[in-house]
Amino acid sequence: MAIILVRAASPGLSAADSISHQGTLQCSTLLKTKRPAARRWMPCSLLGLHPWEAGRPSPAVYSSLAVNPAGEAVVSSEQKVYDVVLKQAALLKRQLRTPVLDARPQDMDMPRNGLKEAYDRCGEICEEYAKTFYLGTMLMTEERRRAIWAIYVWCRRTDELVDGPNANYITPTALDRWEKRLEDLFAGRPYDMLDAALSDTISKFPIDIQPFRDMIEGMRSDLRKTRYNNFDELYMYCYYVAGTVGLMSVPVMGIATESKATTESVYSAALALGIANQLTNILRDVGEDARRGRIYLPQDELAQAGLSDEDIFKGVVTNRWRNFMKRQIKRARMFFEEAERGVTELSQASRWPVWASLLLYRQILDEIEANDYNNFTKRAYVGTHGSGCGSLCPSVA
């Protein structure tokens, strides 16, 4: 079992303050002070509460380490992802100071009206598969909404490689080719019309390739992995397949000029919404995933609840299952709460599609509860149309 240690980055947090928060933590007996001026470590178990619940509202305050059974400190998934957040925020701040020049895709002989057609097609795909989200984008400026459509379409095409009709024929080599195609796209060498829309978008906004590469890595995970030992592993998966979308989208959505929030905190909130959406997907689709031989639930937490894979495959709602689900839903809501704090920091015209994603997905958790936690044979639906975008909602908050 790994123990998570949460480092208090604020120099004003005393050992007494740390102890006062420990009542909410799972492993509450560990408090380490190396020397008077050293950083202090507070424990937080991956099996229950997120480090943000340790008394601070923002993930930007913390970095986390895991201690393996041998007593060696290893970087947790959360810290690895937060390092990406810091890189994206730094890139945005740097490029906002030096505006991006308008550079059209190089190797695709496409007239201006051809790019318009490419963006229009992206909009049609977004409208078809994510109606509510699409309507929200219509409140954005034309340039921003077209860019979001292009990002959405690339994410959808990537997701369909492993979840679409040809998923059984997809190999790691095919994903390698898709990543090479992504690199060409970022170099201004798109393969087709839809690629050209995204290539044009990244020439206009300070968008980095890393979250796109990470999403492809998430697709690789789906090819080789059907179980997750703990929440640390699941968190990384959720980042790969959904949190990345938020990081892709922040530069397009824009931060409100009147916002006092740091760029890092806006990216962190975007990440939180992606994680929340994906955790909600997982909880909604337990039965469906089980029928495909997949269990996207932390194995150690299942064991602690007295549950096993066999219980998932049987699909019987018991008190043990209800208690387990209550804990999982609480965690997902915590991420939604963190995301919600960032919505008002976005450019005003960009907020509605984000609110649509957040509110609709959060209601799915309510529906799971209303179904008495039966997510084996009942699928939680919200409204008549839903958002339609799943984890592919540009999860910016």
Read off the DSSP letter of residue 51.
G
Question: What does the DSSP assignment read for 219-236?
Answer: HHHHHH---BSSHHHHHH
Q: Cα separation of 186 and 163, whole Å?
A: 24
Q: How far apart are CA 73 and CA 59, in angstroms?
A: 20
Q: Is residue 182 within 8 Å of residue 172, measured between CB atoms?
A: no
Q: According to the model, what pLDDT value does residue 352 have?
A: 86
Among residues 24, 50, 45, the alpha carbon closest in space to that of 336 is found at 50
Q: What residues pair up with 3 in beta bridges, in sequence order?
A: 67
C-alpha 260: how far from chain center: 24
Model pTM score: 0.79
What is the pLDDT, as a whole number, of residue 95? 72
Domain residue spans in the chain? 75-98+108-371
Q: Among the CATH numbers 3.50.50.60, 1.10.3720.10, 1.10.600.10, 3.90.25.10, which is that of 75-98+108-371?
A: 1.10.600.10
Position 110 scores a pLDDT of: 61
pLDDT digits (tens, 9 = 90+) for 279-312: 999 999 999 999 999 999 999 999 999 999 999 9
pLDDT of residue 61: 30
Residue 189 and residue 57: Cα distance in Å, rounded?
42
Dihedral pair phi/psi, residue 7, rounded to 5°: -90, 125
346 beta partners: 255
Angstrom distances, CA of residue 234 to CA of 42, 77, 276, 364: 22, 9, 12, 20
Place of tokens 């408090």: 31
Task: Measure the CA–CA gap between 231 and 395, rounded to whole angstroms.
Answer: 20
* Residues of the chain with confidence (pLDDT) below 50: 1-65, 100-103, 384-391, 394-397
On the 0-12 / 13-18 / 19+ scale of CB atoms within 10 A, 327 is middle
